[in-house]
Chain A
Amino acid sequence: MITTTFRTDQEFFLDPQRCIGCHACEMACAECETNGHEPMIQVDYVDRFLSPQTSVQLCMHCEDPVCARVCPADAIMKDEFGIVHSANTARCIACSNCVQACPFGVPKKIEPLQLMMKCNMCYDRTSAGKKPMCATVCPSGALFYGTRVEMTTRRPNSTPVNQFRFGRQLVRTKVNIMMPKGATELVVDGEEASP
C-alpha cells in the first residue's frame, strides 16, 4: 500500500542536448513491474541520416494535462503532487486519444493489453522518497532529479524552464527543460514568443 513520502523539494530536469542516445533510461524504466517491462521513456534518433542527435522524452506532467482532458473514460488522473498518472487499467478503453493529443508525444498504447501506459515519474520510487530510475541511471545528465538549488549550482548558466509553446498553445509542466540562461519558454513550433 502506498505510504507517501514524496519529496516536494525535488524536481525533474530534462536536457535533450546532453542525451547520447544510449537507451539506459529506457532499459532501466522497463525493469519496473508496474509497467510490465515496457519502457515509459522514449529515446529516438531525430534524423539519423543527418546526425546522431536523439530525442529523449518522459512525461512532462502538464499542469493542465490534455491527455486527461481528452480521455473519454476518465482514466487519467493528476494527483496532489502534480503527477499525471498512467491510465486506470479498469477504465482505459484504448482509444488512443491521449496518445495523439499529447503535445510531447508521450503516452503509449500497448495494443495487446488494450491499455495506454505512460510515465508516472516512477511513482513507486518517488512516493518512497527515491529518485526516478531513468534519472538515477542516465549517464549523461540528460535526465536529472534533485532540488532546484542543486541544479542551479551545477549549471549556473542554464535556466530551468517549464513553459512550452506548441502553435498557439501554451503548456506549463511540472518537469523542467534546461534552456540557455534567461530563457522563459521553449517554442517548439509555430509562433515565436511574444515578449
Chain B
Amino acid sequence: MATLPVSAEKLIASFGPSLNFPPQEGFPGRDEPDDVIKTHCCFCGMQCGIKLLVKNNRVVGFEPWEEFPFNEGRLCPKGVQRYLQNNHPDRLMEPLARVEGTGFRPIAWDTAFDQLTANIQRIQAQHGPDAFAMLSGVSLSNEKSYLVGKFARIALKTKNLDYNGRLCMVSAGAGNKKAFGLDRASNTYADLAHAEVVVICGSNVSETFPTLTHWIWQARDNGAKLIVVDPRLTPIARTADLHLPVRPGRDSALYGAILHQMIKHDWLDHEFIANHTSGFEEAKQAVADYDLEWAERITGIAKEKILLAAQWWGPAKTSFLLHARGIEHHSKGVENVLACINLVLASGRLGKPYCGYATITGQGNGQGGREHGHKCDQLPGNRDIENPEHRKYISEVWGIEEKDLPGKGLTAYEIIEAIDRGEIKGLLSICFNPLVSLPNNNLVRRALDKLEYYVCIDFFLNETARHADLVLPGSLQEEEEGTVTTAEGRVVRIRKAVNPPGNARSDTSILLEIARRLGAGKHFDFNSAEEIFNELRVASKGGTADYFGITYQKIEDHMGIFWPCPSEDHPGTPRLWEDRKFKTPDGRAHFHGVPYRDPAEITDPEYPVILTTGRVVSQYLSGTQTRRIGKLVNQYPEPLLEIHPGLAASLGIRQRELVRVVTRRGEAEFPAQIVETIREDTVFVPYHWPGRKSANQLTSGHLDPVSKIPEFKVCACRLVPTGKQAPAWEETKAYASP
C-alpha cells in the first residue's frame, strides 16, 4: 500500500536504517573466535573471498582470505564492513503484520503463513494465478534462485516472476546470447594480465568493483594501454592512457565509429571472421557512414581521441574489453553490447590467452542467479521458457506436466506497471527493494497502493517492505549454505556462519513452508542446500549454463569451478571459445548490424541537461544493507549532484548549493558538487537513497525492447538553483519517504 501504516519517521525510529558501528573496544571474543568461516562477500559480483570470525553465533569480525585466487585477501570498504550487517539492531526477528495507525505488530509464524496462503488463494481464485506476482533478487544464492524459480512456477503457479537482475545486466545477457548463444564472461580476469589494450566501456570499476582494479593495474604494469569510456573522469579513468568522455546514451555511435575505422584500415582478423562468425556484412553496412566527424558530433568526443582508440584497439595482438552498466542501462542496452561484441569479433581476439571479453556482472550472484530460473523468460541451465524441448526437460526434472509449467511472464518494471493497471493484485517479494532501485519510483509507490496484498521476505525492513501487509524475517547470506557464481563464471561456496537470530528463519525454509501450505509440498522435499544444488545440477544438465559436473566437494577442493562443467570428471571452463564452438544454432559467433539511434529521452529547451545516475564505492544497490553500516554511510552520506563548473556558472550555482533537478517524472533536491571531472552537458547523481533523496524519482521507465532493462543512465532534466546552501547531511531526512 502506498500509504504507510504510520509516518516514515516512526517506522525509521523502530526499524531503521540505524547505523551500526563496532564497539570501541571491538566485539568481545573477536580475538578468540569459535569459528573462522571461509566464505565470500555478500555484495558485488566479484564475490571476494573473506573469512568471517564467529563467536557465540554472532559474526564479530573478518580476516582477509589471502589464499582465494581472485582477490587474495583484497577487499573494498563494503567488504571490510560487511560483517556489520550481522548483529544489527535493525534486524527483523519476528513476522510482522501491518496495523493501520501503529505500524507493524509481531505475529506468530503459523498465523503469518495462514494469512499469507489464504490471501494467495483468494486472489488467485478471483483473478487467476498470474494475478499474484513474485519479485526476487540475485543477492540470493544459486540454490535459492533455483528454488524461487521452481517455487513461483509450481507452488505459486504464476508466470509473473522476475528479478532485480532486470535492472542489472540483462542487456549484457541478451547480447551475449545473441552473439555467442551463451551468457557468461568469456574469460577470467587472469587474461587481463598480458592484454596489450584494455578497454573499459561504461564501468566505474574503481568504485563498483574495486578489487578488479588490481587486475587492471597489473595489466598496465605489463605495458597495457588503458582506454576508459565514461562521461565522468572516474578514479579508474584518471590515469588512463585514453579517457573518452562519451555523451550519455551515445555509446553505440562510438563503437560503430571504431568498427568503421577497423574496416577502413583493415584491422580485421579475416580468418576468424570468415570461419567462425556470421553477420559481418550486416555489421559493416550499419557503420558505413560512421566516420570520425559524425562520431565526434554524436558522442561529443574529439575525433582525434576516437581515432587513437581505434589505432590502439585495431592492430593490437592481445586485448580485453570489459563493459558494465554504463552501456547496459539503456533503452538500447542490447545494441550497445552488440556494438562492443562486434569490435571483439572483428579483431578475432577471443578464446586465446590474454584475448578477452566480459561484462562485469554487478550483483553478488548476478551471474548464477540469472541462469537458474527466476528470470521471467528462463528455466534452469539458462534454458528458454518458451522452447518446447527446454520446457519438457525441466517439467520432467520437476515431476510436473509440461502444460502446468507457466510460460513467459512480465519483467520487473512491467510487473509494477501491471500492478498499476490493476492486472496484478498480489505480490511476494524477496531480496528486492523496487522503491529505491526501479526507475520512476513515484509510479512504483502509486502501484504499491493498488495491491490487495503484499508480502515481503527480508532481514531488514527495507523501504518497499514498509508498504507490506506482511513482512517475514528471512536470512542473511551468512546464515545459509549455498553457492554463488561470480562475474567470472566461477561457482564458489557460501558458508553458513551463524543461525538466523531470534525467530528469523532461513529464506529456504520460508519458501519450502509456503510451498507446502500451497499444496506443492511433494515437489519441495529438500533437507539441505546441497540437495537443492544437486537438483539444480540435473536441471541445468545439457543447458548452456551446465553445472552438472560441479559438486560442493569439488568447489571446496578447487576454491571454485568455472561452468560449463558437464561431467564430474570435467575440470570446468575458465576460458570460453578456445574450441571456437559457439553455442548459437549455426555454431558461429554473430555480428549484428547496430545502426545508431538516440536514447529514448533527449534534451530539449525545456529539459536541457542530461541526467545520468550511478553508484558510489561505499554503497551497494538500494542500500538496504549498506545504509545501515555506520562507516559506509559516513564515507558518502547523501547523494550529491556532480556538475561541471561551466554549467554551474551558467546557472549561477555555487558549491554545495541545493539544486532542484526536475524531469518529466518528478523532482528532487541535491547539494551541488562542482567538479571538472564531468561533461559540461551532463549531471550525475548516485541512486542508492530512498525517499526525497532518491535519484530514481527522476529516471525514466523507458525499457530496452529486447532485454527490458530500464534506461537509468540517461534522461533529460532541468536544473533549478534554490539559492540555499545545503544543510549538513544529518539535518536532512535523507531516508524518509515523502
| Binding-face segment, B75-83, B153-161, B548-556 | B75-83
B441 within 8 A of A: no
Give me the interface of B with A, judged by CB distance under 8 Å.
21-22, 24-26, 30-31, 61-62, 64, 66, 71, 73-77, 79-81, 206-207, 210-214, 217-218, 221, 233-236, 238-239, 617-618, 631, 635, 645, 673-677
Interface code A121-140, partner B: CB below 8 Å = 1, 0 otherwise?
Answer: 00000000001010011111
* B62 proximity list for chain A (CB < 8 A): 31
Contact of A18 with B by CB under 8 A: yes
Binds B, one of A20-28, A64-72, A91-99: A20-28
> What residues on B are CB-neighbors of A54 within 8 Å?
235
Closest B residue by C-beta to A48: B675
A169 within 8 A of B: no
| B217 proximity list for chain A (CB < 8 A) | 18, 140-141
A-B CB contact pairs (8 Å), 6 listed = A20-B235, A49-B645, A131-B73, A136-B66, A138-B74, A141-B213
Residues of A within 8 A of B64 (CB): 133, 136-137
Give the CA-CA distance A26 to B235 in the complex, in Å: 18
**Given A20-B206, A31-B61, A139-B74 in contact, is the A49-B676 Cβ separation under 8 Å?**
yes
A182 within 8 A of B: no
CA distance A34 to B437 in the complex (A): 39
A50 adjacent to chain B (CB < 8 Å): yes
Instruction: Answer yes or no: A5 CB below 8 A from chain B CBs.
Output: no
Decide: A23 near B75, CB < 8 A? Known: A31-B61, A48-B675, A154-B221.
Answer: no
Q: Tell me how far the C-beta of A86 lies from the nearest C-beta in chain B, rounded to whole angstroms.
A: 16
Interface residues of A, count at CB 8 A: 35
Question: Knowing that A23-B618, A33-B30 are A-B contacts, what are 14 other residue pairs whose CB atoms are under 8 Å apart, sorted by A's residue number?
Answer: A22-B76, A22-B210, A22-B617, A27-B80, A31-B80, A48-B675, A49-B645, A49-B675, A137-B79, A137-B80, A139-B74, A139-B214, A141-B217, A154-B221
Bound CA span A48–B161, Å: 44
- Whether B618 lies near A139 (C-beta < 8 A) is no
Task: Using A24-B75, A28-B80, A37-B22 as known contacts, say yes or no to A140 and B206 having CB atoms under 8 A apart.
Answer: yes
Once A27-B80, A37-B24 are accepted as A-B contacts, the answer to whether A49 and B206 lie under 8 Å apart by CB is no
Say yes or no: B80 contacts A52, CB within 8 Å.
Answer: no
Q: Which residue of A lies closest to B64 (CB)?
A: A136
Q: Smallest distance from the beta carbon of A33 to chain B beta carbons, Å?
A: 4
A155: chain B residues within 8 A (beta carbon):
221
Chain A stretch 137-156: residues in CB contact (< 8 A) with chain B: 137-141, 154-155
By a CB distance below 8 angstroms, the chain A residues around B211 are 139
Tell me which residues across on chain A come within 8 A of B81, comparing CB atoms: 27
Bound together, the chains give a CA A138 to CA B214 distance in angstroms of 9
Which residues on B sit within 8 Å (CB–CB) of A33? 25-26, 30-31
Chain B neighbourhood of A131, CB < 8 A: 66, 73
Return chain B residues, CB-CB under 8 Å to A140.
206, 210, 213-214, 217
A36 on the B face (CB < 8 A): yes
Q: How far is the CA of A54 from the CA of B235 in the complex (A)?
A: 9
Q: In the bound complex, do residue B80 and residue A49 qualify as a contact, i.e. CB atoms below 8 Å apart?
A: no
